[in-house]
Amino acid sequence: MVDPARSHLLELVRDYHDAQTPEAAPFIPGQTPILSSGAVLDADDREALVAAALDMRIASGQITAKFESSLARTLKRRKAVLTNSGSSANLLALSTLTSPELGDQRLKPGDEVITVAAGFPTTVNPILQNGLVPVFVDIELGTYNTTAELVEQAISPRTRAIMIAHTLGNPFPVAEIAEIAARHGCHLVEDNCDAVGSTYQGRLTGTFGAFSTISFYPAHHLTMGEGGMLLSSDIKLAKLAKSFRDWGRDCWCEPGEDDRCLKRFDLQAGTLPEGYDHKYVFSEVGYNLKSTDIQAALGLSQLAKLPGFIEARKRNWRQLREGLDGLPGLLLPEATPGSDPSWFGFIITVLPDAGFDVPQIVGHLERHNIRTRRLFAGNLTRHPAYIGRPQRIVGSLANSDTVTERTFWIGVYPGITTEMIEYVIGTLKEFVATH
């Protein structure tokens, strides 16, 4: 039954939203900040958050389950497991692959995991956190992804997994790398945090690996404030992942549910007494990486807008790419051949003979209120956290170094308008012409 008080309150929330959201303020070039990324939230999102709060949906429950199944359907995976961040989803992916349940397939301390040196730290950290050894390969400039050749060269008898992110939405050659993984009996984990909606050879990224991950931090394609998702079409892996997420428990009842298996007091596990409550039987050394229904309500409401968000990102990227084409001194981004990226940002490398450097061009953009970002950590192996840690570096990391020294990116997120992009193009052209 619909509660009239609830309906009335939600109507008021929509009125409040409209009152808080003035007519789109006119864009003032140089004054209105052009952000690199940000959440795009509307009245539906505000209503979804308040509705979940009114219903006191404070823990993980029905809304989480609905968000998981809806997202899995949208992204063409059989199962989705909601987490409290994209980093947690990455940790969950690799930790699950250490489960004794996987027998010979399990990752063991000292096993090698091939990854990329230039990127975000939490694509790599779960490797170290699980006592595994990261094997770093370089990337290409232009696509900012590694290649199948570099990954193949990095394979050793100890290689058991490959874990790589699709850089700023641009797919790595995932079909070829999945083939290498299969040929060498390795697990493939796709960090799809920046690439929701991208395709490679007509197939969605995140559907090639045993696991893929998503982030819902506000910078990403969809947001729930903080949050992440682990996706898989392998039912056994997904079930294990859920156990690792939920303290390592053996029981698969939903939160608040009791005795779905009808054997709650009839099982014997480990050396526990016969009939020990299945709710408190632990079969994995797990974590608690769960999120909440309030946040899931926002994720679900955002999901309805995903096609429009992806289209806006592609449109903004195209406008920048066409508008900046041929500008001297700058290496412009290229989509990986065979891909259709759902872009996270527009990445630029300053060429060595440009006559200007990154601090100068970035300073110019920032002074004009155009926000810039680096390709996250750049070459991770140069950071204090990774120096002296177990690792293997294959070949040169020259391009990862170039990215550390001469690369930055600007925004394409759906909050950026055509008018803003025109201004960004004009500002960059003016800078290059005067340097």
Ligand X SMILES: Cc1ncc(COP(=O)(O)O)c(C=O)c1O
User: Long-range CB contacts (< 8 A, 24+ apart) of 175-180?
Assistant: 175/200, 175/201, 175/203, 175/208, 175/338, 176/148, 177/148, 177/151, 177/208, 178/208, 178/209, 179/148, 180/148, 180/151, 180/152, 180/155
Question: In terms of CB distance, is 89 or 154 closer to ligand X?
Answer: 89
Report 82-101 residues binding ligand X (CB under 6 A).
85-87, 90
Q: Based on the shown chain and the rule CB under 6 A, indicate whether residue 193 belongs to the binding site for ligand X.
A: yes
- Are 135 and 394 spatial neighbours (Cβ–Cβ below 8 Å)? yes
Question: In terms of CB distance, is 86 or 333 closer to ligand X?
Answer: 86
Report 250-309 residues binding ligand X (CB under 6 A).
none
Q: Which of 60, 98, 115, 122 binds ligand X (CB under 6 A)?
A: 122
Q: Which of 172, 211, 217, 386 binds ligand X (CB under 6 A)?
A: 217
CB of 202 to ligand X, least distance (A): 23
How open is the CA angle 211-175-195, to the nearest 5 degrees?
A: 60
CB of 428 to ligand X, least distance (A): 24
Q: Based on the shown chain and the rule CB under 6 A, indicate whether residue 123 belongs to the binding site for ligand X.
A: yes
- Are 218 and 38 spatial neighbours (Cβ–Cβ below 8 Å)? yes
CB of 35 to ligand X, least distance (A): 15
**Catalytic residue (one of 166, 187, 220, 364):** 220
What is the CA 146 to chain-centroid distance, rounded?
A: 17
**Window contacting ligand X (CB under 6 A); options: 72-80, 139-147, 178-186, 189-197:** 189-197
CB of 170 to ligand X, least distance (A): 11
CB of 127 to ligand X, least distance (A): 13
Query: Could you tell me whether strands 211-215 and 228-232 are parallel, antiparallel, or unpaired per DSSP bridges?
Result: antiparallel
220 is catalytic: yes
d(C-alpha 340, C-alpha 209), whole Å: 18
Q: Which of 120, 208, 244, 317 binds ligand X (CB under 6 A)?
A: 120
How many positions of this chain bind ligand X (CB under 6 A)? 15
Q: Which of 215, 223, 291, 339 binds ligand X (CB under 6 A)?
A: 215
Q: Based on the shown chain and the rule CB under 6 A, indicate whether residue 190 belongs to the binding site for ligand X.
A: no
Question: In terms of CB distance, is 86 or 171 closer to ligand X?
Answer: 86
Residues interacting with ligand X, by CB under 6 A? 85-87, 90, 120, 122-123, 165, 191, 193-194, 215, 217, 219, 228
- Enumerate the active-site residues: 220
